[in-house]
Amino acid sequence: MINQKLAQEFARDWIDSWNSHDLERILSHYSDDFQLTSPFIALFGGEASGVLKRKEKVAQYWKNALEKMPDLKFELIDVLYSVNSLVIYYRAVLGKKGAEVFFFGDDGKAIASIAHYDEL
């Protein structure tokens, strides 16, 4: 079960991982069967459904994104949590706001996330 301390720790490390641009560190938060849903996948990831399944496919998508956005930096605004999920609310690229919902497996790794943005 997720509590406030675990949610805050995950959120801070997730933000720091992205800001480090260290793909392996970013990927360490996710299970091998991870599924990502994002409108940016539909726009830039070559998958019209907006969904990528399996960590290796997500890794390639994120590798390309990090290469295209060398100044990428996130800023944590807030984190909300439930039993086995949490939401990270953050400032994303170009001042846009993002909220990402994470669902966790028994091992504490994210098994799915759904990204939301105030504008694309």
pTM: 0.94
Phi, psi of 45 (to 5 degrees): -100, 5
Which residue positions in the chain have pLDDT lower than 70? none
pLDDT of residue 23: 98
Please tell me the total count of domains within the chain.
Answer: 1
Q: In sequence order, which residues have a C-beta less than 8 Å from that of residue 80 and are 6 or more positions away?
A: 7, 86, 87, 89
Q: What residue numbers bound the domain in which 82 lies?
A: 4-117
Write the CATH number for 34: 3.10.450.50
- Residues paired with 81 in a beta bridge: 86
Place of tokens 């956005």: 69
Q: In sequence order, which residues have a C-beta less than 8 Å from that of residue 95 and are 6 or more positions away?
A: none
